Amino acid sequence: MTPWPYPVLVAHRGAGKLAPENTLAALRLGAQFGYRMFEFDVKLCADHELVLMHDALLNRTTNATGRVAAATLADLARIDAGSWHSAAYAGESVPTLARVASWLRANDHLANIEIKPSPGSDEETGAAVALEVRELWRDAAVPPLLSSFSVTALEAARAHAPELPRALLFTTLPEDWLETCLGLGCVAVDTHYATLSAEIIARAHEAGLRVAAYTVNDPERAEELLGWGLDVLITDAVDQIKP
């Protein structure tokens, strides 16, 4: 396998559940626990800006409603993305990818960017993320790892910025998972931890692929997976599973 520049432990959506997900506050909190790499979700808003958001709707993680894809950046700047979590985070904003990139690079932190298209925008989102990442991390020693459940999004990312490393996400591993990952030119497979075994990790490694697992929150299970040779462990439990 080629050298792997990423740390083993990655904080899920910033600091897991300890702060409002996909916000700068969550990233900063994760860093306070010693994490150097962060997984977060990116999608397009109405005026084709890239913002951090997991859901297609604003309802769950902001004080607004409606589709992210229908909201402009100006709309998003006016909403509260923190008070749903707790009063301490009231007023936290929806960050742009550019703003997060600036903070990450200034603090020598790394990123696993999940391309999270709104319905029907897989190709457009994959291309936009790849082009923006190429620019925002220009001359960076270690680029972000791009991941997605969408084959179409990863194909678009590959077409527009083939040099950026990619990982295909799975909930469960189909029979052709290895062939699909290799066909996309991925450097890693990223799957729910319950689908993994020592044999699957060994098979991936034999093919030259790294293996990432989400979302591992039990320290004992984390130890077992790492003992099998897991390369990347994505966790909410940043206060319990420490670098």
**Confidence (pLDDT) at 195:** 98
Domains along the sequence of the chain with CATH = 9-56+95-235 (3.20.20.190)
User: At CA 91, angle to CA 56 and CA 10, rounded to 5?
Assistant: 60
- Average pLDDT of span 27-51: 98
| pLDDT 10s digits, 129-175 | 999 999 999 999 999 999 999 999 999 999 999 999 999 999 999 99
Say if residues 10 and 232 touch (Cβ distance below 8 Å).
yes
**Confidence (pLDDT) at 2:** 84
Say if residues 158 and 138 touch (Cβ distance below 8 Å).
no
**Confidence (pLDDT) at 1:** 82
Q: Count CA atoms within 13 Å of residue 91 on its CB side.
A: 1
Is 109 assigned a catalytic role?
no
| pLDDT 10s digits, 101-129 | 999 999 999 999 999 999 999 999 999 99
Q: Is the pTM of this model over 0.85?
A: yes
- 48, 54, 109, 192: the catalytic one is 54
With helix as H, strand as E and coil as C, how does the chain read? CCCCCCCCEEEECCCCCCCCCCCHHHHHHHHHCCCCEEEEEEEECCCCCEEECCCCECCCCCCCCCEHHHCCHHHHHCCCCCCCCCHHHCCCCCCEHHHHHHHHHHCCCEEEEEECCCCCCHHHHHHHHHHHHHHHCCCCCCCCEEEECCHHHHHHHHHHCCCCCEEEEECCCCCCHHHHHHHCCCCEEEEEHHHCCHHHHHHHHHCCCEEEEECCCCHHHHHHHHHCCCCEEEECCCCCCCC
Indicate the pLDDT class of residue 235, thresholds 50, 70 and 90.
very high
**Confidence (pLDDT) at 105:** 98
Is 12 assigned a catalytic role?
yes
